[in-house]
Amino acid sequence: MLQLNFIRENTEQVIKALHKKHFKQAEETVADLLDLDQRRRQAQNELDQTLAKANNLAKEIGGLMKNGQKEEAEKAKAEATSLREKSKVLEESLKELEQKQQDVLVTLPNLPHSSVPEGRSAEDNEVVYAHGAIPELGPEAVPHWDLIKKYDIIDFELGNKITGAGFPVYKGKGAKLQRALIQFFLDEAETAGYTEIQPPILINKDSGFGTGQLPDKEGQMYYATEDELYLIPTAEVPITNLYRDVILEPKSLPVKNAGFTPCFRREAGAWGAHVRGLNRLHQFDKVEIVRIELPENSYNALEEMSKYVQGLLQKLELPYRVLRLCGGDMGFTSALTYDMEVYSGAQQRWLEVSSVSNFETYQANRLKLRYRDENKKTQLLHTLNGSALALPRIVASILENNQTPEGIRIPKVLQPYTKFDMIS
């Protein structure tokens, strides 16, 4: 959530930045917000004056009674009563204005970093780095949805029978490959200094609000109506919310956490090859990395996280590229996002496997996540997160890019985890 004082002091800058994210009616929304802010401050000032006057009268009443000025004391009592009634009306008005202001404020997305390129869609994203040769598989190559049937390692029909579309069943060497990837990613995170967290996979509304899923993305999450809980879209949400309403000491920073969880997305059910097989699911596994940083360190941390994810892809022997997302393709809460895409040899296209983002103070303001500066004043921290990594498209790329006439070759780095070097 944006900070109101920043909007007030940098109005034109904010409007320009909102346009970069293609936020509709930026001028009108900011104008409404500032009007509500002015009315709220006026109401607060009037309330403060009313309460101060009532308090002063309360102090005078005792002196008037002591001096025998009963008539004057009764007038003062009547005026004090009137002021207290007025203050109740003003308090209700203030609460209403504060709620209206909050309702508008949460509709504003985070402002993009100055390095974010202009653009409306994925076609406008900027390729900042590419690694590895594009595989040439030949005419015999088939996409992963054919490979998983051939080797009987993932079953979509069974998942559809048990639950519905987008909930695959992994079995045999498919299940072992999943487990190997999860353990490999967690071991790498530990080596990189991340503390492993095993969080709940259900969250309440406060947690959803804290990281920006609510009120913006209710329709994308599964909702347990009886208990008013949501299934998590990513481990970022519960792990970041560990620090909701927390004041951290600078010496405890940075905070570096990693967690493996299943993830749940309701919006997965579209048609076409780009969402076929493992390309898009309702339930999938992912290892997430989360960092909390001092503001002056957060962009160095973002670059470090990007290089860390790239290191995982290099160890898996997958060709990849890094994209800096344009303003129109960025997430609601992000200030700067890098996407990592791997090349799918059989599908002959790039597949997104990770997003690494800096949210600056946007989440921290919602979370009330702060630190004490050298003057002992509380300041907002910066939060960051990244996929390290999401499994479905990684599995799809491993299967497709490593297919041979003898079977599917397992990357060397995974063989100690899988205990086999081929799926055949």
Contact (CB, 8 A) for 320 and 342 = yes
Neighbours of 168 (CB within 10 A): 23
Q: Is the peptide bond before 233 cis (omega within 30 degrees of 0)?
A: no
Residue 332 C-alpha from the chain's centroid: 9
Q: Tell me whether residue 267 is annotated as binding.
A: yes
Q: Tell me whether residue 352 is annotated as binding.
A: yes
SS3 157: helix
Q: Which of 318, 365, 360 is nearest to 340 (CA)?
A: 318
Q: Tell me whether residue 244 is annotated as binding.
A: no
DSSP letters for 220-253: GS-EETTTTEEE-SSTHHHHHGGGTT-EE-GGGP
Which distant-in-sequence residues (6+ apart) come within 8 Å of 201 by Cβ? 231, 232, 238, 261, 262, 264
The HSE-up count of residue 10 (CA atoms within 13 Å, CB side) is: 12
Contact (CB, 8 A) for 108 and 19 = no
Tell me the torsion sign for CA atoms 339, 114, 208, 271: negative
Q: Tell me whether residue 375 is annotated as binding.
A: no
Q: Which of 229, 234, 183 is nearest to 212 (CA)?
A: 234
Q: Tell me whether residue 288 is annotated as binding.
A: yes
Using DSSP bridges, classify how beta strands 229-231 and 223-224 pair: parallel, antiparallel or unpaired: antiparallel
- Position of tokens 């009137």? 82
Q: Tell me whether residue 266 is annotated as binding.
A: yes
- CA distance linking residue 415 with residue 419, whole number of Å: 5
**Token digits for 164?**
């519905």
Which distant-in-sequence residues (6+ apart) come within 8 Å of 167 by Cβ? 159, 160, 281, 282, 283
- Position of tokens 């630190």? 371
Tell me the torsion sign for CA atoms 276, 278, 284, 287: negative
Q: Which of 293, 283, 282 is nearest to 358 (CA)?
A: 293
- CA distance linking residue 126 with residue 155, whole number of Å: 36
Q: Which residues pair with 300 in a beta bridge?
A: none
Using DSSP bridges, classify how beta strands 247-248 and 370-372 pair: parallel, antiparallel or unpaired: parallel
Q: Distance between terminal CA atoms of the chain? A: 51
Residues annotated within the binding site are 234, 265-267, 288, 352-355, 385
Binding-site residues for ATP, in ranges, read 265-267, 352-355
Binding site, annotated residues for L-serine: 234, 265, 288, 385
